[in-house]
Amino acid sequence: MTYTPHANIGDRPITVIGGGTLGRRIALMLSLQGGEVRVYDTDLAVAKAAVEFIATQRHRAVEELGGTPAVRLAAKDDFADALRDSWLVVEAVPEKLGLKQAIFADLDQLAAPDAVLASNSSSFASSEFIGGVSSPERVLNMHFYMPPAVRSVELMSSGHTDPRVIELLMAQLPKYALKPHLVRKESTGFIFNRIWAAIKRESLQVVAEGVADPQDVDALFSDIFKSETTPFRFMDEVGLDVVLDIENHYCELAGVENKSAPMLQEYINKGWLGVKSGRGFYNDYS
């Protein structure tokens, strides 16, 4: 099949695969221009919770960032139905390579022939899961952080991505109050996360070795850099299960041991995943 980028988006739907912490926030941003936004999850209750989150938070985002008050939101657990005629599909599932490879092989078969297939993966380059895709020209990384508070998005080619796809997204994303940044060469961790990985790894090590508590690290970081965002608060927002998956992947690529894994696993075993579970490195989340 020869891939041809679409010239007319019109009011075609957008689909987000995964209704978790990031998936619902991505869908919230992509709802700002109206039209239909679908959230797919294998668990319909999760997809419905994501749509409810968007519906309750959207008015605030529209007031602050602009956009249209009108939107159609749909929760789906039927994959083919969720993808029908969407011009953009964003995958936001857990950082498991096999899972992503399977999803993109299915997307290749079920999504509209001209649909852009984007992965929100923060640790896997899209080149790693295009083996089962017949049209890798439409696949790329589109990495979000924590919208709507953080609206930067990194775009990185799969190595086969049609330049017109990246041009399209660079032009379209600002319409959704997003700030696209082009990653000019394949890079594990993209731009910011490559820098952040070093900060995160040493912060975890300092605590795992008993040199300091998370609160000590955050207090110093905040005072020295005059930043409201601090390492352990940020990890709680991301989710400690996600942090562990990402750290394991980075360490595997580097051929080194993840020395912070036992500490992170201990928190996860207790159900302390961060903000989404009400407790992580901090226990003051309601």
What is the pLDDT at residue 6? 63
Exposed e or buried b per residue across 58-94, where buried means at least 16 C-beta atoms within 10 angstroms of its C-beta: beebbeeeebeeebebbbbbebeebbeebbbbbbbbe
CATH no. of 14-183: 3.40.50.720
The H-assigned helical ranges of the chain are: 21-30, 44-65, 79-83, 97-110, 163-172, 192-208, 214-225, 231-238, 240-254, 261-269
All CATH 1.10.1040.10 domain ranges in the chain, comma separated: 193-277
What is the pLDDT at residue 194? 87
> Strand pairing partners for 166?
none
CA atoms within 13 A on the CB side of 152: 9
Please, is 244 exposed, middle or buried when counting C-beta atoms within 10 Å of its C-beta (0-12, 13-18, 19+)? Answer: buried
- Cα 156 to Cα 148: distance, rounded to the nearest angstrom: 21
What is the pLDDT at residue 5? 66
Phi, psi of 118 (to 5 degrees): -120, 145
The CATH class that applies to domain 193-277 reads mainly alpha
CA dihedral 116→33→54→242, nearest 10 degrees, is 40
What is the pLDDT at residue 193? 87
pLDDT means per 10 residues in the chain (286 residues)?
A: 67 96 97 95 98 96 94 97 97 93 97 96 91 94 95 97 96 97 93 91 95 97 96 95 90 88 96 95 91
What is the pLDDT at residue 254? 84
In 3D, which of 249, 245, 238, 219 has the Cα closest to residue 276?
238
All CATH 3.40.50.720 domain ranges in the chain, comma separated: 14-183
What is the pLDDT at residue 9? 85
| Span between the terminal Cα atoms of the chain, in Å | 50
Task: Provide the token pair at 220.
Answer: 């110093």
